[in-house]
Structure 1
Amino acid sequence: MFELVLIDDKREVVEGLSRAIDWKAMQVSVHGFFSASEAMAYCMEHPPALVITDICMPVMSGMEFTKSLRAVHPEVRVVLLTGYDDFTYAREGIRLGVVEYLSKPVDLDEVQSLVAKEKACWEEQQAEREKQVAESARYRRGLPTLRSQWLKNARSAQPPTRERLQKDFAGMDLPLQAERLLPVAVRICQGEKSDTDLMRYAVENIGCEIIGAQFPCAAIAAGDTELLVLANYTSSSLLETTYKMMQCVRQWRDACKENLNLTFTAGIGMPAARAEELFPAIAGAERVRERELFLGEGSVLPAMDWQHVEAVDPALPAVQEEILKALLQKRYDRTADAVETYIRALRSRENADPLQLREQMLAFLLRIYHEGRAERCLHVETLIDQFGQVHTIDQYREQLLGLISYITGSRDEGGATGVAEVKHYIDEHYSEEITLKTMSELVHLSPAYLSYAFKEEFDINFNDYLTAVRIEQAKHLLTQTDLKVYEVCAKVGYKDKKYFTDLFKKHTGMLPRDWK
């Protein structure tokens, strides 16, 4: 509301102006003071839109009040009220930015007209400020997408010049210099968490806080579970820079484990002294991160420790043939033995390019899918989606065995019954700690098999279904009970209130407290 402050050492003037005009009808809030010093204390804490003040008052004059107020709150408009026709006051008032003079005795119509005009200007300014705030908020919300799109486009463009890169950084509000950059490529190990946006956001905040204490840095989303951190370094020593960053990233990883109960794998690229070296350095960081295929999740790997890459061993297909032969002959005992031989062969290729090896691993899964005639019971999209979550050889082994088990047991009524039992268990026990692993143990199915079967049976991923059930139950509890938000959070199976709040808002568009 438009706020007006009246100041005069004569009580009848303040009270007369306060009562003579219907300020409520004008939607104006009026505060009257009989001394400038008291008014000053109020205005410093609660700056009004307009002040009408007498000039000649004891202790502090209207001029002194105006000068002190506008030094702190120059946006406050001031009108001087005086019975003196003195050019000195007018000249000083103009210098201080006074809006207008009103002469005593006061003309009420003149006061009302002046305040109405000032209120109209104030409302116009408020509307413009709100518009600017909304535009700024939209811009801030769009920055993550803008940065991700820039990263995607810039990879395939010509190497940037320093000037071009600096301009891009400024346009994306990245607090970075376009030289002496060190990239860190991160992949978050999703585990049982299904909401990748919130997970990535939480990891990003912790990382920027820890790394930012040592290096100016910024993070860019490079995928659902992937982040790229760019940091400016100062040391000319490659070893010192990489070692310092490794300490930061390991501290970041440990903090995520402690606070979020998840981990990540990180590849630290070679320092890029010049702008044109940045994207090759990023590619190197991502390439070394992929070595988690051999080393496991949670590794922090510097590119300077791994430069040698061997071609994928062509002997692997021979092992694959043994698996296929045993599978097609329904020699399932030999299939399991052949799979273990294959996995040992993969582990021994630790100097191979992980990306090439992953391509071969996926190709073999697709071959099993087609030659095992899995299309009768499994959509190929489900297979590829599952492989997208495979980042280590152990995880690949589980998926491979799960696929073989799913093909050979696709008509097994026990498998279908187990999947239905898991869905029913989630519906009844959503408040408990439920994971794919615990559910697979409950129904005596492998996690990979259960994951395949759940998606095929209900057309939704296991984790997504669990989240959907919990959010629906939270909505019910918020509207039908007097439980506090933190109590609802616990009752639907979440330990972290902030994570629950963010998740609820993402799925409903509202905060839990506003859903009541």
Structure 2
Amino acid sequence: MIKILIADDEQIVVDSVKFVIDNNCDDVEVVDFAKSGREAIEKANMLKPDVVFMDIRMPGIDGIEAIKRIKESHNDIEFVIITAYDYFNYAKEAINLDVVDYLLKPLNKNKVIDTVKKVKRLVEKKREDMAKELEMKEKMTAILPYIENEMIYSLSSSNFKQEDIDFYGNIFNIKLDMGFAVVVLIDKDSTDSDIFMGNVKVHEKLMHLKEYIKSLRDCLATILLDRIIVYVPTVAYDDLYIIKNDSISFCEMILKEMRNIEIGVRIGIGRPYETAYFSKSYDEALFAIKTGSDAITHFDDIKLSETKELDLNYDTAELVENIISNSIDGALINVNSIFKKLQHNYEDSIEMIKSKVFSLLIEVMTKINTYCDVTSVLEENLIIDILKADEIDSLKGMFSKFVSNVITKLHKNREKYYTGLIAKAIDYINENYHKDIKLYDVAQMLSISYHYFSKMFKEETNCNFVDYITRVRIEKAKEFLQDETTSVKEVCFKVGYNDPNYFSRIFRKETGMTPTDYKNRVSKGGVAFES
């Protein structure tokens, strides 16, 4: 229903417009009328109509001024001007006020009807657009937390590109040129282990804390296993000393809130880096937690001479490559090498090694999930077992089992996936055998590598790609050769060959006879045979 307010000091005009609308316009209601500009303003504020039909000349405040004042608080109301004066005298002001149309007195019935229909379409279009916008906002509100999680996972695992930074910056309306990491790590000694078993109350508290953190300043945050990871944007030219002090004050407010909700935590703060290198700040924040003795520790406050940070980027990349390549032996060799380095670097400090294992676990899952969802492999008891572990060999065994399970899941998923792809490839060949089909083109069409497609095709069909196409073409050629009106040369071109002599050689190799012999045998009622 479209609501209309009529503002005119002539009752006959009001009655005429109302009569025309009531008798000719569906889903339109005249909700009231006003006889002065002031009354029009008051009733517009009270009734909030969709449209106001406004006379220009009325006692006191004129129509133009009334429109201006109403638009100050109700910019969504549409206006139609009613005037006994030449429209062009008011054209400039009317255009500035964005009025929909004008009606000249004496009023024309058809013009009134057309104007009402016009403004009705406009109001309905605005409502539709608003509904779509609200729906879009609701969808974005629902999906934003997942996008936020994905961004922070990618940042923390060095899996980030400049185009990603620009994309996320636009979505969250935050400058992502530079930032630092804050990691809020749940203290297992002061928190019941049920937190890692899906305790609803604890999860609700963590969700509350996440929203509280984001209310303190512009930042992005996500809950990951036993921690909350926070990305805090900064400005490149800000003083590092000021950034450090601000970050500590920020974390003091977080710590106070955590104590209020009775969850023990330790908080680490990394140094600011360009966003593409946020993973360095994240590693520093974790290192600060494990090395520092206070509830809040900034990386700069650690005596780094006592402990050297270990760079496992190359080892992790090699491990992921072996997992993707389905090489269990290679992956377990990587795991063994990583744990030797951890043990050597941290001198049997089980807490530091556990911290690194957690980071490694997250990074492996983040990178492998782009190929296959392996979240289900992460058993809920694994987190608790890692936290409870007090021996390095035990930790290594848990991580090795996790890696083996990931490889198994990935391999099963890949087998299922590639079986479907080979079926698609066969369908493509059957439909396009008459074209110049290349193995590379089919692999590209399926979005898999040339070499892997060749290997998988032979395993699935027990035949290499070229031989398979040849078989399909020869079978099709046999069908065409049974038509007496089709020549051997025509059949040659119909099945994808350009040289009749080459076609004849291939046909004889596959069937033991030339295409002409085959055609003659079939036409005489003989039985064609294959050697």
Place the TM-score, normalised by the shorter chain, in its bin: 0.5 to 0.7
Verify the 8 A CA contact 2:209 2:257 in the aligned structure 1. Answer: no
SS of 1:228's partner is strand
Q: CA deviation at 1:131?
A: 0.8
Verify the 8 A CA contact 1:200 1:225 in the aligned structure 2. Answer: no
TM-superposition CA deviations, 1:277-317 (whole Å, max 9, x none): 4221112212333469xx6xx932322344344899xxxxx
State whether structure 2 residue 298 is matched by structure 1 residue 302. yes
Verify the 8 A CA contact 1:159 1:279 in the aligned structure 2. Answer: no
TM-superposition CA deviations, 1:351-393 (whole Å, max 9, x none): 82635257999xxxxxxxxxxxxxxxxxxx9996345146866
What is the aligned partner in structure 2 of residue 251 from structure 1?
253
What is the aligned partner in structure 1 of residue 457 from structure 2?
none
Mapped to 2, the partners of 1:359 and 1:94 lie a distance apart of 66
RMSD: 4.1
Normalised TM-score (structure 1): 0.53
Name the aligned partner's letter for residue 173 of structure 1: F
Verify the 8 A CA contact 2:270 2:284 in the aligned structure 1. Answer: yes
What is the aligned partner in structure 2 of residue 3 from structure 1?
3
Verify the 8 A CA contact 2:2 2:27 in the aligned structure 1. Answer: no
Report the CA distance shift for 1:108/1:224 in structure 2 as closer, same or farther (over 3 A): farther
Query: Pairwise mapping of residues 489-508 of structure 1 onto structure 2 (< 5 A)?
Result: none
TM-superposition CA deviations, 1:407-465 (whole Å, max 9, x none): xxxxxxxxxxxxxxxxxxxxxxxxxxxxxxxxxxxxxxxxxxxxxxxxxxxxxxxxxxx
State whether structure 2 residue 223 is matched by structure 1 residue 209. no
Name the aligned partner's letter for residue 349 of structure 2: A
Mapped to 1, the partners of 2:351 and 2:22 lie a distance apart of 78
Verify the 8 A CA contact 2:36 2:58 in the aligned structure 1. Answer: yes
Report the CA distance shift for 1:125/1:387 in structure 2 as closer, same or farther (over 3 A): same
Report the CA distance shift for 1:251/1:106 in structure 2 as closer, same or farther (over 3 A): same
Report the CA distance shift for 1:58/1:157 in structure 2 as closer, same or farther (over 3 A): same
Q: CA deviation at 1:199?
A: 3.1
What is the aligned partner in structure 2 of residue 124 from structure 1?
125
Mapped to 2, the partners of 1:311 and 1:84 lie a distance apart of 83
Q: CA deviation at 1:185?
A: 1.0
Name the aligned partner's letter for residue 9 of structure 2: D
Mapped to 2, the partners of 1:78 and 1:133 lie a distance apart of 25
Verify the 8 A CA contact 2:34 2:43 in the aligned structure 1. Answer: no
TM-superposition CA deviations, 1:111-154 (whole Å, max 9, x none): 23421332122112211221122112212321221122123234
Name the aligned partner's letter for residue 97 of structure 1: D
What is the aligned partner in structure 2 of residue 356 from structure 1?
353
Verify the 8 A CA contact 1:146 1:172 in the aligned structure 2. Answer: no
Verify the 8 A CA contact 1:10 1:34 in the aligned structure 2. Answer: yes
Report the CA distance shift for 1:90/1:177 in structure 2 as closer, same or farther (over 3 A): closer
Verify the 8 A CA contact 2:9 2:35 in the aligned structure 1. Answer: yes
Name the aligned partner's letter for residue 11 of structure 2: R
Report the CA distance shift for 1:392/1:68 in structure 2 as closer, same or farther (over 3 A): same
What is the aligned partner in structure 2 of residue 388 from structure 1?
383
What is the aligned partner in structure 2 of residue 199 from structure 1?
205
Report the CA distance shift for 1:81/1:267 in structure 2 as closer, same or farther (over 3 A): same
What is the aligned partner in structure 2 of residue 31 from structure 1?
32
Mapped to 1, the partners of 2:92 and 2:291 lie a distance apart of 76
Q: CA deviation at 1:221?
A: 1.1
SS of 2:6's partner is strand
TM-superposition CA deviations, 1:394-415 (whole Å, max 9, x none): x979xx9xxxxxxxxxxxxxxx
Mapped to 1, the partners of 2:26 and 2:206 lie a distance apart of 51
What is the aligned partner in structure 2 of residue 284 from structure 1?
284
Mapped to 2, the partners of 1:396 and 1:183 lie a distance apart of 28
Verify the 8 A CA contact 1:182 1:232 in the aligned structure 2. Answer: yes
Name the aligned partner's letter for residue 171 of structure 1: N
Query: Pairwise mapping of residues 128-207 of structure 1 onto structure 2 (< 5 A)?
Result: 128-157=129-158, 164=163, 166-173=165-172, 175-179=174-178, 181-188=179-186, 191=192, 194-195=199-200, 198-207=204-213
Mapped to 1, the partners of 2:309 and 2:98 lie a distance apart of 77
SS of 1:185's partner is strand
Report the CA distance shift for 1:285/1:383 in structure 2 as closer, same or farther (over 3 A): closer
TM-superposition CA deviations, 1:17-46 (whole Å, max 9, x none): 435643895243522111111111333566
SS of 1:388's partner is helix
Mapped to 2, the partners of 1:185 and 1:127 lie a distance apart of 44
TM-superposition CA deviations, 1:187-241 (whole Å, max 9, x none): 345646623654333102222334x2xxxx4122151443222224579765654
What is the aligned partner in structure 1 of residue 315 from structure 2?
none
Verify the 8 A CA contact 1:183 1:282 in the aligned structure 2. Answer: yes
Mapped to 1, the partners of 2:383 and 2:264 lie a distance apart of 18
What is the aligned partner in structure 1 of residue 507 from structure 2?
none
Q: CA deviation at 1:88?
A: 1.7
Mapped to 1, the partners of 2:378 and 2:42 lie a distance apart of 70
Mapped to 2, the partners of 1:88 and 1:360 lie a distance apart of 79
Name the aligned partner's letter for residue 245 of structure 1: S
Report the CA distance shift for 1:105/1:265 in structure 2 as closer, same or farther (over 3 A): same
SS of 1:56's partner is coil
The share of aligned pairs that are identical, in percent, is: 18
Q: CA deviation at 1:13?
A: 3.1
Q: CA deviation at 1:184?
A: 0.5
Mapped to 1, the partners of 2:378 and 2:283 lie a distance apart of 27
Mapped to 1, the partners of 2:272 and 2:385 lie a distance apart of 29
Query: Pairwise mapping of residues 406-445 of structure 1 onto structure 2 (< 5 A)?
Result: none
What is the aligned partner in structure 1 of residue 89 from structure 2?
88
Q: CA deviation at 1:52?
A: 0.8
State whether structure 2 residue 72 is matched by structure 1 residue 66. no
Mapped to 1, the partners of 2:89 and 2:12 lie a distance apart of 27
What is the aligned partner in structure 1 of residue 101 from structure 2?
100
Report the CA distance shift for 1:111/1:269 in structure 2 as closer, same or farther (over 3 A): same
Q: CA deviation at 1:8?
A: 0.9
SS of 2:297's partner is strand
Verify the 8 A CA contact 2:265 2:295 in the aligned structure 1. Answer: yes
Verify the 8 A CA contact 1:40 1:65 in the aligned structure 2. Answer: yes
TM-superposition CA deviations, 1:481-505 (whole Å, max 9, x none): xxxxxxxxxxxxxxxxxxxxxxxxx
Verify the 8 A CA contact 2:83 2:103 in the aligned structure 1. Answer: yes
How many equivalent pairs are there? 329
